[in-house]
Amino acid sequence: MSLVTEPKQGGCALPEITRERGQRQVFCGLAGIVWLHRKIQDAFFLVVGSRTCAHLLQSAAGVMIFAEPRFATAILQERDLAGLADCNQELDRVVADVLERRPDIKTLFLVGSCPSEVIKLDLGKAAERLSERYSDRVQVIDYSASGLETTFTQGEDACLGALVPRLPALPSIERSLLVLGTLPDVVEDQFRRLFEALEIGPVHFLPPRQASELPPVGPGTSVLLAQPFLGETARALHKRGAALLSAPYPFGVEGTLAWLKAAAAAWGVTPERVDEVAAPAVARARRGLEHYRELLAGKRIHFLPDSQLEIPLARFLQRELGMELVEVASPFIDRQLMEPELALLPEGVRVTEGQDLETQLDRVRAARPDLTVCGLGLANPLEAEGLRTKWSIELVFSPVHGFDQAADLAELFARPLTRGALLQV
């Protein structure tokens, strides 16, 4: 294990970040397909991987055997892995079968996995070949969702990054707001109404609901991130001329207001106007949070590194619900994208980047927090030791952004504590 402590920058209130490296336990980027295939309604995700990849997707998505989801796995057999079969011929056959069965598909994602990368299968060339073959009906795009040295939310970053070169150019005399990150349709609609009331627009979302309707990008594009794990996509958009707006993320009342005000400032809309437009939603959100503050205030919470949502969620729980932060650990911390959130964390809180599993578990056992946020693989062992846990992956799957979801987000943290109290009765 190696430790590097990053000092505060002169006069800045940012917390120190301790970096840890060692044994890791995280999902791979294939998990991102679970929410991406629901959002992009004309797309199909074909994973080139193993039976383990197929089992992971089916388990994560909860898909029944007779369902017809818009994802599948082209399973590499032993002959493929041993180099005894032509993988490209097999892939072409599987793609032809998928497109015959699903004529509604307009975009086909070829998704790389650990097995396909190990045998050096070039999905980029395969995507070019298949795009040319099916140019009259479908676009074929490749990206890697391998679990090698990544965490599961980076699958979305890789997918959206693969779309950036295909985004149409925004005319130089025009401007637009691009909201970056997968949002449930109901949340997207809520944000769209708020932007319209503030006369901010036109507003586009990436990913869009239809991959055949990609948003434009250019020097007049302002990018507002809805998810904190999209650093590579954000930088790819910046290379195409877009400007990145710096803001906290829209979790809870405070984060959502600050997020809206960042967009408003770019459009010359005053903070007072944002407060006026958002007032009804803010009042509803604060009423909804009152009940959960009574349950959560004073409770101690420990975040283990998993989703990259840890820092903004910790800020929300500490500042709006009164929880005490024992440690906030995240697999990767992008300082450019996370600085507004880091500045809102309380002084003295331990912030950790990376994972050294046994060392971090030792700290959890020593601190015995009221709640530990962690990956699925760690939850049951910790529960067996009498520690209450929250699956971090559920926080990615659930509608949790914005004012109207603030109470729902708080409930996700209150639920395990309520359940634990009932079990002790």
Q: Which residues are annotated as a binding site for [4Fe-4S] cluster?
A: 28, 53, 114
Is the separation of the CB atoms in 154 and 229 below 8 Å?
yes
Q: What is the DSSP letter of 15?
A: P
Positive or negative, the CA dihedral 240, 242, 248, 253 is negative
Specify binding-site residues.
28, 53, 114
| Tally of CB atoms within 10 A around 374 | 27
Is the separation of the CB atoms in 45 and 95 below 8 Å?
no
Structure tokens at 29: 């980027």
Between the CA of residue 92 and those of 51, 98, 99, 133, what are the distances in Å? 19, 10, 11, 10
Is the separation of the CB atoms in 195 and 187 below 8 Å?
no
Q: How far apart are CA 49 and CA 44, in angstroms?
A: 15
Q: Where are the beta strands (DSSP E) in 335-382?
A: 350-355, 371-374
The CA dihedral of 305, 308, 314, 319, to the nearest 10 degrees, is 170
Structure tokens at 220: 């007049």
Q: Which residues touch 340 (CB under 8 Å, ≥6 apart)?
A: 246, 247, 248, 258
How many Cα atoms within 13 Å fall on the side-chain side of residue 109? 31
Q: What is the DSSP letter of 217?
A: B
Which residue(s) pair with 111 in the sheet?
A: 47, 143
Q: How far apart are CA 99 and CA 133, in angstroms?
A: 12
